[in-house]
Structure 1
Amino acid sequence: MKKHAHLTDIEIMTLVDETNMYEGVRRMFILQSKEVIQSAKKSYLERSVKEAEDNIREMLMA
Structure 2
Amino acid sequence: MADQEFVYTTHATETRSNKMNNIESVINEHASEGWRLSETLERDGTTVGLVFERRLE
- Tell me if TM exceeds 0.5: no
- TM-score of the superposed pair, with normalisation by structure 2: 0.32
Q: Looking at CA atoms only, which structure, 1 or 2, has the larger radius of gyration?
A: 1
Counting helix residues as a fraction of each chain, which structure ranks higher? 1
Between 1 and 2, higher relative CO (CA 8 Å, sep ≥ 6) is seen in 2
- TM-score of the superposed pair, with normalisation by structure 1: 0.30
Counting strand residues as a fraction of each chain, which structure ranks higher? 2
